[in-house]
Amino acid sequence: MHDLNGKRVAILATHGFEQSELEVPLQKLREAGATVEVVSPESGEIKGWDKKDWGRAVPVDRALDGASEADYDALVLPGGQMNPDTLRANETAVNFVKSFWNAKKPIGAICHGPWLLVEAGIAEGRRMTSYGSIKTDVINAGGLWEDSEVVTDQGLVTSRKPDDLPAFCAKVAEEIAEGKHERRAG
């Protein structure tokens, strides 16, 4: 994994995030030297969803209302069904995601996390993947969906499911190490 010392990463999540899709990138990016903060509209802690039932709570490091893209080098969007569905209805969360894209900073989204990319208008014209059940949503938003463990397009890293986490974490770390990305119009 790339050396991420001095890099700062936000993980945007709320209750119902897929347990491994938040915890594994959090651990792997920290092990690579990055400062990683869980950003949430909730305060205190948020509770994960671990396969078929509620999982462990994770502390929230920063309130979404007090977070700014300028404080971070990259953004990670874990999946789970409830988490991104709740966040995509939150205007502040959607604007937070858009701000990373507009600043040409890497964004990683796994599983249902690409719902936030769709809501933020980022999916159009981008090669990406997602959990199979939201494939049609991605395609309807203009995304170029493919069934691969990790897909990267101009600093946008997407993966399908928890089994893809090793490839997802490695590619997100690589994109963070490279920094800002040139973006062409859709």
111 included as an active-site residue: yes
Sheet with strand 45-50: strands edge to edge: 17-18, 45-50, 53-59
- Residues 38 and 26: their CA atoms lie apart, in Å, by 8
Active-site residue, selected from the candidate residues 2, 15, 111, 169? 111
Three-state SS string over 71-106 comes to HCCEEEECCCCHHHHHHCCCHHHHHHHHHHHHCCCC
2 included as an active-site residue: no
Active-site residue, selected from the candidate residues 2, 15, 112, 169? 112
Active site residues: 111-112
